[in-house]
Amino acid sequence: MDRRTCMAASRPSRPPKHDRLTIVALFGLALVTLAIVGKAGFVVAAAVQQPVMIKQLKWTGTSWFGSPIIHDLGTDENKLVGTFYDIFVWDKDFNQIAKAPSGG
């Protein structure tokens, strides 16, 4: 084997020209798809509004183990549920309507 044959055998083979065109076409299609989806609002990130304090509730303890949630609890009226040392439930006007003591 001469040197050229040995070097040609060690090089990775290139895909045929029509396969390269297919790859370029698919890549272009992917870019166009991303552009269309981005304009539809599925990929583009939007600005996030800064949080606004609405009401400061009386001291309830430290909340190490959970985050507050808003849920209707099956009544069709949203309630705020907070997990502190105890579990508290407030109505939409932030009146405390229930408390479950820790360990209870």
- 19 residue type, one letter: D
Whole-number pLDDT of residue 86: 85
pTM higher than 0.75, yes or no? no
Spell out the domain ranges in the chain.
3-40, 50-104
Among candidate residues 6, 7, 24, 28, the one with its CA nearest the CA of residue 15? 24
Helix residue ranges, H only, 1-104: 3-10, 17-40
Whole-number pLDDT of residue 78: 93
* The pLDDT of residue 36 is above 90: no
- Helix or strand run (H / E) with residue 80: strand 79-83
